């Protein structure tokens, strides 16, 4: 019979891999209280420093999946495919992508999360729409999926419950930034939701969780391997997140921009990432369709409206607006905007009320930042680069402080070179 102290020592000293029997015992013992939180936290710290090899990680993830339900979507009647992003600033791609891919003939069961820190959450954004519900039972989720082809909802408590306990420990013990633990956390929930295929958007750059490209690539490869090992066709795109995606950052602001994108008026950078992900999702689902045609014909916008109505929302309702606005970050010279730091803009939006510091915090639907100028556009000296929005004017000062703590913008005498936002592709 294994004992947890021996497993901690084995990982702490990097003496040997844990066996599949030991990992299975560990999860069962943790679930029934034989392993205490402080012991599991010690093991997580040992894993943070010494990692998990491929075999350990496969079993570890499998035990997280097995700790709860695994949805069965085989009766949906369409190929199922989902997308997951590791998070960025202005990343409203999910709001566009789910109905877009659904309008092309796939079923998109997207279980999403809430924002924390400088990155926004898909559910927070959609809750800006009057009446829209994030919490659905499994039967409701499947009913919406069958009716509209797309659903965006909160993951139920029955999916990978071990992940919630482990994440809570990682959050308070400084062990979040571990590639095997990140990969198992993301993939256990995505595999448990029952999708047949999955495309991952792994962000890299100043506004991303994985700032370095080599780290983003390692995470992408690890998650693709886990997906394939657990029977989910998986690909990953590594995409740049050095500047906000699109122009709007904040909940209702991003919904507004998503509707514009579905109406054929999306910013070029946002649509570049959206179309790349859509093409890979449709390929994995075995569907030969052109996502650009779905936007141009209005089918994608119709699918969005149907999805919102099916979850209690009113797509025709007016989105809420902030009570206060101000312009900020005047250009120090005339020229071309060459850089706009995503992290600083994300922190400013968070301080305006669009994000949360703790999971239990409330967010403002109306707060956020609009990029009046994006890299590659010409500016005049003194021209404001950003517009800030808040319900409480006292929030402007800390947001402005975030925008003055580092070099948020750079102005050049020549336009910056245009680089593709998709850096690498991982998977077949």
Answer yes or no: do 306 and 331 share one domain. no
Residue 185 appears among annotated catalytic residues: yes
Residue 163 appears among annotated catalytic residues: yes
The answer to whether residue 387 is domain-embedded is yes
Answer yes or no: do 125 and 270 share one domain. yes
Which residue in 185, 188, 206, 364 is the catalytic one?
185
* Best CA proximity match to 83, nearest among 276, 307, 288, 311: 276
Which residue in 163, 201, 269, 341 is the catalytic one?
163
Q: How far is CA 133 from the centre of its chain?
A: 19
Answer yes or no: do 260 and 130 share one domain. yes
* Best CA proximity match to 353, nearest among 371, 370, 334, 367: 367
The answer to whether residue 12 is domain-embedded is yes
The answer to whether residue 368 is domain-embedded is yes
Residue 84 appears among annotated catalytic residues: yes
Answer yes or no: do 146 and 282 share one domain. yes
Residue 106 belongs to domain with CATH number: 3.40.1030.10
Which residue in 83, 84, 247, 365 is the catalytic one?
84
Answer yes or no: do 302 and 353 share one domain. no
Domain of residue 219 covers 81-310
Which residue in 11, 58, 114, 170 is the catalytic one?
170
Which residue in 11, 92, 114, 189 is the catalytic one?
189
Are 86 and 273 contacting, i.e. CB atoms less than 8 angstroms apart? no
Residue 170 appears among annotated catalytic residues: yes
Residue 3 appears among annotated catalytic residues: no
Distance separating alpha carbons of residues 234 and 227, to the nearest angstrom: 6
310, 339, 374 — which closes off a domain? Answer: 310
The neighbour count for residue 155, using CB atoms within 10 Å, is 21
What is the mean pLDDT of each successive set of 10 residues along the chain, which is 428 residues long? 91 95 96 94 96 96 94 93 93 97 97 72 93 93 95 87 89 88 94 96 92 94 97 97 96 97 97 98 97 98 98 96 97 96 94 80 91 97 97 96 89 93 92
pTM, full prediction: 0.94
Nearest 5 degrees, angle CA 87-CA 192-CA 155? Answer: 55
Tens of pLDDT, residues 71-84: 999 999 999 999 99
When divided into structural domains, the chain yields a total of: 3
Answer yes or no: do 129 and 180 share one domain. yes
What residues are paired with 112 via a beta bridge?
Answer: 154
- Given this model, what pLDDT does residue 2 score? 82
Answer yes or no: do 178 and 241 share one domain. yes
- Given this model, what pLDDT does residue 305 score? 98
* Best CA proximity match to 299, nearest among 290, 311, 310: 290
């Amino acid at each position: 019979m294994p004992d947890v102290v021996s497993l901690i020592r084995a990982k702490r000293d990097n003496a040997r891999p844990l066996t599949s029997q030991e990992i299975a015992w560990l999860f069962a013992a943790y679930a029934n209280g034989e392993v205490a939180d402080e012991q599991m936290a010690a093991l997580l710290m040992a894993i943070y420093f010494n990692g998990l090899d491929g075999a350990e990680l496969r079993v570890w993830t499998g035990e997280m999946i097995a700790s709860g339900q695994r949805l069965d979507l085989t009766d949906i009647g369409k190929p199922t495919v989902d997308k997951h992003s590791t998070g960025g600033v202005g990343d409203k791609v999910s709001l566009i992508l789910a109905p877009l891919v659904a309008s092309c003939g796939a079923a998109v069961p997207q279980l999403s999360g809430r924002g924390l820190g400088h990155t926004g959450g898909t559910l927070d954004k959609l809750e800006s729409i009057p009446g829209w519900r994030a919490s659905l039972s499994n039967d409701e989720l499947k009913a919406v999926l069958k009716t509209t082809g797309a659903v965006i909802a909160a993951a139920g408590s029955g999916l990978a419950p071990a992940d919630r306990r482990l994440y809570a420990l990682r959050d308070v013990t400084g062990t979040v930034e571990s590639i095997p633990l990140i990969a198992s956390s993301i993939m256990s929930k995505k595999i448990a939701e029952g999708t047949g295929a999955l495309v991952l958007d792994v962000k890299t750059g100043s506004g991303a969780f994985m700032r370095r490209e080599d780290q983003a690539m390692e995470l992408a490869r690890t998650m693709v391997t886990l997906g394939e090992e657990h029977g989910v066709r998986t690909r990953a795109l590594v995409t740049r997140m050095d500047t906000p995606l699109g122009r709007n950052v904040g909940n209702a602001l991003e919904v507004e921009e998503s509707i514009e994108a579905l109406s054929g008026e999306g910013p070029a950078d946002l649509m570049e990432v959206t179309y790349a992900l859509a093409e890979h999702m449709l390929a994995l689902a075995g569907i030969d369709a052109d996502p650009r045609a779905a936007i141009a014909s209005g089918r994608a916008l119709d699918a969005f409206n149907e999805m919102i109505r099916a979850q209690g929302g009113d797509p025709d309702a007016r989105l809420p607006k902030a009570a206060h606005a101000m312009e900020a970050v005047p250009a120090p010279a005339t020229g071309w905007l060459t850089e706009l730091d995503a992290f600083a803009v994300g922190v400013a939006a968070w301080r305006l009320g669009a994000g949360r510091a703790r999971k239990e915090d409330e967010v403002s639907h109306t707060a956020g930042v609009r990029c009046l100028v994006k890299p590659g556009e010409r500016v005049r000296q003194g021209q404001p680069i950003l517009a800030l929005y808040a319900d409480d004017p006292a929030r402007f000062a800390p947001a402005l402080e975030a925008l003055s703590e580092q070099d948020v913008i750079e102005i050049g005498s020549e336009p910056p070179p245009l680089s593709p936002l998709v850096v690498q592709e991982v998977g077949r």
